[in-house]
Amino acid sequence: MSTLASVAGVSIVYASHIPKGYELLGFQDPDPFELFDLDSSMVVLNNRPYSIEAQAYLLDDKVTPNSKMFIRNNGLIPKEINADQWVLTIDGESVAGIKSYSLADLKSKFKSYTYQVTLECGGNGRSEFDPPAKGNQWTIGAVHCAKWTGLRLKDLLNDVGIKDDAVYIGYHATDVHLSGDPNKEPISRGVPMHKALQDETLIAYLMNDEPIPLAHGYPLRLIAGGWPASVSGKWINRISVRNKEHDGSKMQGTAYRVPVYPVSPGQKVPEEDMKIIESMPVKSLITYPKSGAVLNKSRELDIRGHTWAGELEVAKMEYSIDFGVTWHLCDLDKPMNRLAWQHFNAKIKFPQTGYYEVWAKATDQDGKAQPMLVPGWNPKGYLNNACHRIAVKVV
């Protein structure tokens, strides 16, 4: 109890009566809505670590603002960050030599690039799996498409010099393990070299033309769009160039992996039969109107939303109002740049009054379409890309 008292700065009256495991109100995490300047309709799934998602209608902006961006952390957000003293080190078995850069170096020595990039949690949609899969029970709001500015990772690696045997990069960061153990990394994921060397893979220092908010990785974040957002590491201070598949935290076991073959719901899958998730599947989201819309007198409705397909473009966007019996084309925009989501819209005419559901279905350039129902079950509840739907009442 003396430790608690020293932290509080005052003595804790009746400290001996505190129940085991009880967390004092004064030591609990601050309100995330105030801490992260969130829209009041965001949904908090967890606060240790933070897992916060949007609702579909909140994601109506073409470029997602900070207040409506999902947050998924694996550890505790670092404190007392001094950007002026921040250093990014490049090391590993496959570099010519270890090299470090200040934030000023990264901004002044390398050309900057800006891309809109879709980032989606691998577990987005997990709540729809039955039986339930372990993890945060995301619905549909763990996705966003912000504008990121920084240097290309490939330009940085070229400056360092990488060896011919380089096959993977892994990131390291300053977030703190939930246990508080400084020797444990909460998460240290990575990507193969072909992904690391893409033009759109950035070391970003701006988000939506402003310094990256703390919750999203200030002052440096790796951005690798189209893959699970967990590979876009926050608060990065080191990147290792590996001569093997990166083996950091959350790269082992079943983390961000799916079975290599179909499995029955609830089936246990050996670790050796799991593969790392790479490009995310085709998906879409109706952002207007909000589910539950009521049309008075008029039988016409304008809908709009976004669609994305991992490394690919979406080639076709459709809607149905008869539970998937017939489908109608939406107007579909090209992406702002590769790996950005695409916008769609349509005008729907309803034949009579009554209850309807509007279903949205995207098809990627390889011809793969969203399933109407939840796709194959997997132990961690990843990659649910079932059609999004909203309820509409015409009176």
In the block, tokens 């897992």 appear at: 51
pLDDT at position 222 is: 98
Domains in the chain, CATH or no CATH each: 1-30 (no CATH), 71-276 (3.90.420.10), 283-394 (2.60.40.650)
pLDDT on residue 25: 56
> Would you give the end-to-end CA distance of the chain in angstroms?
64
Give the separation between CA 107 and CA 155, rounded to whole angstroms.
12
pLDDT on residue 18: 83
Q: Say what the pLDDT of residue 327 is.
A: 98
Residue 3 has what pLDDT? 40
Q: How far is CA 132 from CA 227, 277, 380, 389, in A?
A: 23, 20, 9, 21
pLDDT in the model for residue 1: 40
Q: What is the pLDDT of residue 26?
A: 58
Written as one letter, the residue type at 200 is E
pLDDT in tens, 270-317: 999 999 999 999 999 999 999 999 998 788 999 999 999 999 999 999
Q: What is the pTM of this model?
A: 0.92
The mean pLDDT value of the chain amounts to 94
| Of 15, 25, 59, residue with least CA distance to 41 | 59
Cα separation values, 188 from 56, 226, 242, 248, 393, Å: 30, 18, 13, 5, 47
- Residues in the chain with pLDDT values less than 50: 1-9
